[in-house]
Amino acid sequence: MPFSQAKSAHQQETFRVGVFYDGTLAKARRNVDVTIAEGRILSVTEGAPGGEHLRTVPCMTPGLTNAHVHLEASGEAASQDAWSRSTQNERVIAAVQNARKSLYAGVTSVRDLGCSGGSATSVAAAIADGKIEGPRISAAGAVICMTGGHAWFLGRQVDSPWEARKAVREQLLAGATCIKFIATGGVLTRGAVPGNAQLTPEELQAGIDEAHRHGLRTAAHAIGTLGIKNALRGGIDSIEHGHMLDDEAIELFKSNGAYLVPTLTAPTCILEHAEDGKQPQWALEKARLVAREMQVNIARAYRAGVKVAGGSDAGTPYNFHDRYAYEVELMHRLLGMSPHEALHAATAVASELVGLTNGTLAPGEPADLLLLERDIADDITTLYRPLGVMKNGSRIVDRAG
Binding-site ranges for Zn ion (CB under 5 A) = 313
Q: In this complex, which beta carbon is closest to Zn ion, that of residue 67 or of residue 389? A: 67
CB of 188 to Zn ion, least distance (A): 8
CB nearer to Zn ion: pick between 182 and 397: 182
The residue at minimum Cβ distance from Zn ion is 313
Please, what is the minimum distance in Å from the beta carbon of residue 98 to Zn ion? 13
Interior CA angle at 178 toward 176 and 179, to 5°?
95
Which helix (H) or strand (E) segment is 354 a member of? helix 350-354
Task: Tell the smallest beta-carbon distance from residue 70 to Zn ion (Å).
Answer: 6
CA distance 83 to 90: 10
Work out whether the CA dihedral 186, 189, 190, 192 comes out positive or negative.
negative
> Which residue's CB is nearer to Zn ion, number 81 or number 251?
81
Closer residue to Zn ion in complex, CB, 110/389? 110
Write the secondary structure of 362-388 as one string of H (helix), E (strand) and C (coil): CCCCECCEEEECCCCCCCHHHHHCCCE
Query: What is the closest distance, in whole angstroms, from the C-beta atom of residue 113 to Zn ion in the complex?
Result: 5
Would you say 163 or 313 has its CB closer to Zn ion?
313
| Residue 303 DSSP SS3 | helix
CB closer to Zn ion, 121 vs 358: 121
Q: How far is the CB of 102 from Zn ion (least distance, A)?
A: 15
Give the bridge partners for 14, in sequence order. Answer: 35
Burial class (CB in 10 A: 0-12, 13-18, 19+), 175: middle
- The rounded distance, in Å, linking the Cα atoms of 291 and 43 is 44
**Shortest distance in whole angstroms from residue 151 CB to Zn ion:** 8
Handedness of CA 248, 249, 250, 255 (dihedral sign): positive
